[in-house]
Amino acid sequence: MSITRFKLSTLSTLMLTAMSLPALAQEPVFQGHTEEAKLQSKSKKSASNRYIVRFKETLSGGKNSFNNYIALNYLFTAGAEPLFALNGQQAMVAELDEYSLETLRGFSSVDSIEIDPKRYVLPLAKSANQIVPFAQSTPYGITMVQGHLLPQSNTSARKVCVIDTGYNLGHPDLPYGNVSGVANNNAVGRWNNDGNGHGTHVAGTIAAEDNNQGVVGVYPGVDLHIVKIFDDNGQWTYASNLVNAIQQCKDGGAQVVNMSLGGGNYSSSENTAMQNFVDGGMILVAAAGNGGNSSKSYPASYNSVISVASVTSSESRSSFSQYNDQVELAGPGSSVNSTYPTNTYRSLSGTSMASPHVAGVAALVWSHNSQCNNQQIRAALNATAKDKGAAGRDNYYGHGIVQAKAASDYIAANGCQGGGDPGGVTPVNGSLPNLQGNQNGWTHYTWDIPQGVKEMALTITGGTGDADLYVRYNAQPDANNYTCRPWKNGNEEQ
C-alpha cells in the first residue's frame, strides 16, 4: 500500500476530513457503442466555462479500464459539451453552463468538477540580447551545474521532453536525427517550427551539441521529444492541455520533462495528474516563476514537481526569481546564452532558463545511474545541491544549486538509496476509533506535525457506507481544495 508523501520541514498543521457521499437515485442509462467516439473541440464560449470533470473508479471498475464512452454519456446527459479526454486520468474536459454544472454535481459517479485554469509561457525577466559566438563557448551555467564534469557519449541513455513553443529543427547546434515531436493541439502549429524562440532556447540549454560551434548544453545531443503547447505568439493554454502534453511526453518515450511555464491558480486535477506521472516513473521539472515575490506558480508548486529558482553568474539569487516553501533546487537563469531561431543565439533571463539546467542534470545523472528510479535520482540531486543562502533548505534556493557530478558520485558511493543518517523523528502512531457521520457531512481533525517529519500515512478502514479521506496542508480541506486524497471507492483508504 502506498504512502502519501509531503514536503514537511517546519512545524505544520495537517487537517484530515472524512466525508460520506450520497447515493443518487438517477444515473444515465448507457447504450452500447459500435463505433469509436470522436471528441471534437468545440468553439469556446468563454474561458470561465471550461471545466475538468473527474470520475470515480466505480465508473469503470478500475483505474486501468476507464471508459470514455460512459463518461461521455454522463456529459451528454447533463447537456455538457465534451472537448477531450485526459487519458489515464479518469477525467474529461468539457464546457459547462450552469445547468450542466449542477446536473453533473448530482451524479454520484462524478468525483470532482473544477475550472480548467490557464497556463502561460513565463515572461522573460529582461529583453533578449543577440549573441554571435565565433567559436564554441561554454555558457557559465554548464560549469556551474557541473555538466562539463560528467560527460556522456550515449545520447540515447535518457530522453528529455520539452513542453514549450516549439523547436528550431535544423539549427546547426541542436540535435536533429534523434528528435521527435508533436503539436499539443491543432491551434499551435507544427512542433518543429518555433516562431517565438522560447522553446528553442530552453532546448539548447539541455541539449546543444558539443560540436565546436555556438554553445553547448548540459547533456549535449541527448534524445529530445518536443511538445509544442504554445503558438508562435506564446498564447496561453490550459492546465488540461498541459496534462495531455505530459502524456504526449510519456508516449514519446521521455523520462524527464521540462516545463518552463506556469500560472497562479491551483488545480486538484492537474496536481493529481502530475503525481500519477511521477508515480509512473517520470521526473517533472518546472520554473518557479518570475514575479520576484513569494507567490506560487503551478505546476512548479505541486509536491510531485521539482520547482526551480534562478541564480546569477555569481551564484546569488536572481531578483526576479519567486521564492516560497515549494522551491526545491536552483539553477542558472540570468543572462543565459543558448540557441534561438532561426539558427542564431540569444541571451535570455528567467526561471524558464534555470529549469532546463535542472532537467538536463536530472537526465544526465540518471543516464549514468539507470539502476536508480526517478525518486532516487531526485533525492540525490537534493542531497548534493550546493547550499546557498541560509544553511539547509530555504525558500530562495531550495536545497541549493544542482550539481551533476556530485549527485552521480553520491550514488556511486552510497547506492540508489543514499547514505548517511536518515534523521527524522520518532514514529508516532494514533487512531480515532468508532467515527460516525451523517450523509453528506464532514468530520474534521487537525494534527500538529513535529519538525523533521518527511513521511506520514493516514488510513480509514471498516464500517459501512462510503467515506472519503481528504488531507490538506495548513488549511481545512473541502471537495475541491486538498493536498491529496485517495481515489478509491468504499471505506478502505490510505
Q: Which domains does the chain have, with CATH numbers?
A: 1-22+439-494 (no CATH), 27-116 (3.30.70.80), 120-414 (3.40.50.200)
Looking at the predicted structure, is the pLDDT value of residue 201 above 90? Answer: yes
Looking at the predicted structure, is the pLDDT value of residue 48 above 60? Answer: no
Cα–Cα distance for residue pair 412/417, rounded to 1 Å: 11
Cα–Cα distance for residue pair 168/148, rounded to 1 Å: 24
Tell me the pLDDT of the chain averaged across its residues: 85
Residue 145 grid coordinates: 551545474
Looking at the whole model, is its pTM more than 0.85?
no
Q: Which are the contacts of 301, defined by CB distance < 8 A and separation ≥ 6?
A: 266, 288, 307, 324, 326
Looking at the predicted structure, is the pLDDT value of residue 487 above 60? Answer: no
Looking at the predicted structure, is the pLDDT value of residue 460 above 60? Answer: yes
Least confident window among 33-37, 126-130, 290-294, 296-300: 33-37
State the catalytic residues.
164, 198, 352
Note the helical H segments in 80-158: 98-105, 140-144
CB 37 within 8 A of CB 68: yes
What pLDDT score does 488 carry? 55
Of residues 493 and 281, the one with the higher pLDDT is: 281
pLDDT > 70 in the chain, percent: 80
Neighbour order of strands in the sheet with 336-340: 129-130, 344-348, 336-340
Instruction: Output the CA torsion sign for 325, 326, 329, 330.
Output: negative
Total Cβ atoms within 10 A of residue 13: 13
What pLDDT score does 65 carry? 59
CB 186 within 8 A of CB 39: no
Q: If pLDDT is split at 50, 70 and 90, which confidence band does 130 have?
A: confident
CB 245 within 8 A of CB 179: no
pLDDT digit string, tens, across residues 346-383: 999 999 999 999 999 999 999 999 999 999 999 999 99
What pLDDT score does 485 carry? 65
Cα–Cα distance for residue pair 196/200, rounded to 1 Å: 8
pLDDT digit string, tens, across residues 140-151: 999 999 999 999
Helix (H, G, I), strand (E, B) or coil at 142: helix
Cα–Cα distance for residue pair 107/78, rounded to 1 Å: 9
pLDDT digit string, tens, across residues 110-129: 999 999 999 999 888 766 77
Q: If pLDDT is split at 50, 70 and 90, which confidence band does 463 have?
A: confident
pLDDT digit string, tens, across residues 311-347: 999 999 999 999 999 999 999 999 999 999 999 999 9
Helix or strand (DSSP H, E) at 55: strand 50-55
What pLDDT score does 413 carry? 97
